[in-house]
Chains A and B, each alone.
Chain A
């Protein structure tokens, strides 16, 4: 098991060559399109192919890794030689990914991450599946489960769940990319209508015939657009089914393992102790049906990309607590939420209206000088009032033992966050003069996952309670010992 320096699977050479070629494909296409197929283009292409494969082979040859004295030792680089030493106990996460090419060769990409930094410390582009499994077992002895969740491994998982096909389809249909398509569709209609209005010759009766033809063609375009839209939506759903197909989550001892993807197989395993917060997000298309997505935030590890943090794509709100009890009992708190004081309602509405008013009022000059339609923007005002009221309705917070729950709405998405007290890096209570007049405060908390949550207009008393809870000695997990040699500071 690689106690001697060893190389990657030979497919690694091919993979890095392919990567170089893929990066140069756009300039290549541009040259081909502009120049046509000429001798020098073919020669240049040949040279590129040679360089890429040479580079691939050389970098494969130079890349060696070795486990020595409890350290992972990686040598790489053709011109600039790089040596990386990663002490075994600092390794936090070992992830496997499998692209289509990798599947063909039965290899996986292994990413080795430590606590610090945002990028993986070491990436092995091609390791045979069994070797990768062994590597993980050696480096991270608390072995989770097998790469393919279907093949029952040695470890006995405590809980495991695989997404059903209907869930996957609902997830695809309600995903925001579908929603974006609808928005694009309506904006398309608006531009079309806009164009009719701007035909200068329409007023003249004797162009009526042309006008009718235009209307007919627009109707045709509309129907065509609807078909295209449905088709695109279908494509989006298929895309999501491919990306998140066979989504499986497994809890094995102190680790969560998430595996998904029909073609490209992603596997993420996260130590539970590094989870900083759990988010339940209910999008506009999911909330009415009682659905939402469950996400986790983890520290140090690059989890910015939404899909990486996805713990379970589609969950009913009332099943949330059961799901957490099964997979993440550390976060399974059903915390009743305190709503905001009534006095906050008008302030929420006022703020939303104020934020929207420049855009809404911009319609007035537009209406006067250019387009009588400009008044339409004034409709944004009642919408803003409604969204302010909605934000007020959904805002809430509560704590239970060592867990804080905060719920808030950003326009279309309602988010509920669960944060353990010891994961909050700091707590800030702030108030503006306007808030002071009505005894309200804003509280904010930041997490090691670089997230910052804020709740505006909580009553001052509750702010105090929250501070009390945060510093509270009554139910702390760890009792800090008293320090005897407390220096006098002055």
Chain B
């Protein structure tokens, strides 16, 4: 039995995801409450219709702020061994991906505005087919990691 990857994401990632969830909930509430208000004012529907957007927003908020970010954070793990990158993620469907370092083409780090505020960065690992992400690492860890991966990948490349 292969053990789980060792490293966890930065704890601040949890906060970041919760904020993302909050923003999403705010946008959703503007849309659904706006639609409900339009129905009430223009078509004179009953005020009770407001229950629907309220339930939607509350459910979305609970899921996206309280429940899912925590589950996601607890599940997310990664590890870079001498031969491969090992990723584990997923709340409902748990996925474990192995990427041999020899297959890595290049590594990027990426930082949004919010992420910069929290000093976080995302590492993107590209193979010939597509990209795999390690989201929300401390900027320092992220750049060290991408350096490390690309140096290892280069060595493997030379061998092939």
Highest count of chain B CB atoms <10 Å: which of A433, A479, A480, A483: A480
Q: Which residues of A contact B92 (CB under 8 A)?
A: 432-433
Q: Is A183 in the interface zone, CB < 8 Å from B? A: no
Q: Which residues of B contact A467 (CB under 8 A)?
A: 2, 96, 98
* A483 to B158 alpha-carbon distance, docked (Å): 13
Among A431, A464, A471, A479, point to the contact of B84 (Cβ < 8 A). Answer: A471
Instruction: Please state if B95 and A430 are interface contacts (CB–CB under 8 Å).
Output: yes
Q: Which residues of A contact B130 (CB under 8 A)?
A: 425, 446
Instruction: Please state if A489 and B144 are interface contacts (CB–CB under 8 Å).
Output: yes
Q: Which residues of A contact B103 (CB under 8 A)?
A: 424-426
* A320 to B120 alpha-carbon distance, docked (Å): 53
Instruction: Please state if A483 and B152 are interface contacts (CB–CB under 8 Å).
Output: yes
Instruction: Please state if B98 and A299 are interface contacts (CB–CB under 8 Å).
Output: no
> CB within 8 Å of B: which of A413-444?
422, 424-433, 436
Q: Is A288 in the interface zone, CB < 8 Å from B? A: no
Instruction: Please state if A481 and B132 are interface contacts (CB–CB under 8 Å).
Output: no
Q: Which residues of B contact A422 (CB under 8 A)?
A: 102, 160
A377 to chain B, nearest CB (A): 31
Among B93, B128, B147, B160, point to the contact of A478 (Cβ < 8 A). Answer: B160
Q: Is the interface of B mostly helix, strand, loop or mixed?
A: mixed
Q: Which residues of B contact A464 (CB under 8 A)?
A: 1-2
Interface string of B97-116 (1 = CB under 8 A from A): 11111110000000000000
Q: Is A468 in the interface zone, CB < 8 Å from B? A: yes
Q: Is A470 in the interface zone, CB < 8 Å from B? A: yes
Q: Is A447 in the interface zone, CB < 8 Å from B? A: yes
Instruction: Please state if A487 and B127 are interface contacts (CB–CB under 8 Å).
Output: no
Decide yes or no: A431 and B97 within 8 Å by CB, A447-B129, A448-B129, A483-B152 being known contacts. no
Instruction: Please state if B155 and A431 are interface contacts (CB–CB under 8 Å).
Output: no
Q: Is A150 in the interface zone, CB < 8 Å from B? A: no
Q: Is A450 in the interface zone, CB < 8 Å from B? A: yes
Among A426, A427, A483, point to the contact of B82 (Cβ < 8 A). Answer: A483
Among B94, B97, B147, B156, point to the contact of A427 (Cβ < 8 A). Answer: B97
Highest count of chain B CB atoms <10 Å: which of A433, A436, A446, A473: A446
Instruction: Please state if A426 and B80 are interface contacts (CB–CB under 8 Å).
Output: no
Q: Which residues of A contact B159 (CB under 8 A)?
A: 478-481
B79 to chain A, nearest CB (A): 10
Closest to B101 in A: A480
B133 to chain A, nearest CB (A): 13
Q: Which residues of A contact B80 (CB under 8 A)?
A: 489
Q: Is B7 in the interface zone, CB < 8 Å from A? A: yes
Closest to A477 in B: B160
Closest to B128 in A: A448
Q: Is B34 in the interface zone, CB < 8 Å from A? A: no
* A288 to B130 alpha-carbon distance, docked (Å): 38
Closest to B148 in A: A487
Among A431, A478, A487, A489, point to the contact of B94 (Cβ < 8 A). Answer: A431
* A429 to B144 alpha-carbon distance, docked (Å): 27
Interface string of B116-130 (1 = CB under 8 A from A): 000000000001111
Among A430, A448, A470, A482, point to the contact of B98 (Cβ < 8 A). Answer: A470
Contacts A/B (CB < 8 Å), 25 sampled: A425-B130, A426-B99, A428-B96, A429-B96, A429-B97, A430-B90, A430-B93, A430-B94, A430-B95, A432-B93, A446-B127, A446-B130, A467-B96, A470-B98, A470-B100, A471-B84, A471-B100, A478-B159, A480-B102, A481-B155, A483-B152, A483-B155, A486-B82, A489-B80, A489-B144
Beyond A426-B99, A430-B94, 20 additional pairs, beta carbon < 8 A: A299-B128, A422-B102, A425-B130, A426-B97, A426-B129, A427-B97, A428-B97, A429-B95, A432-B92, A448-B128, A464-B1, A464-B2, A468-B2, A471-B83, A471-B84, A478-B160, A479-B159, A480-B82, A480-B159, A483-B82
3 tightest A-B CB contacts, nearest first: A448-B128, A430-B95, A425-B127
Mark A residues whose CB is within 8 Å of B.
299, 422, 424-433, 436, 446-448, 450, 452, 464, 467-468, 470-471, 473, 478-483, 486-487, 489-490
Mark B residues whose CB is within 8 Å of A.
1-2, 7, 80, 82-84, 90, 92-103, 127-130, 132, 141, 144-145, 147-148, 151-152, 155-156, 159-160
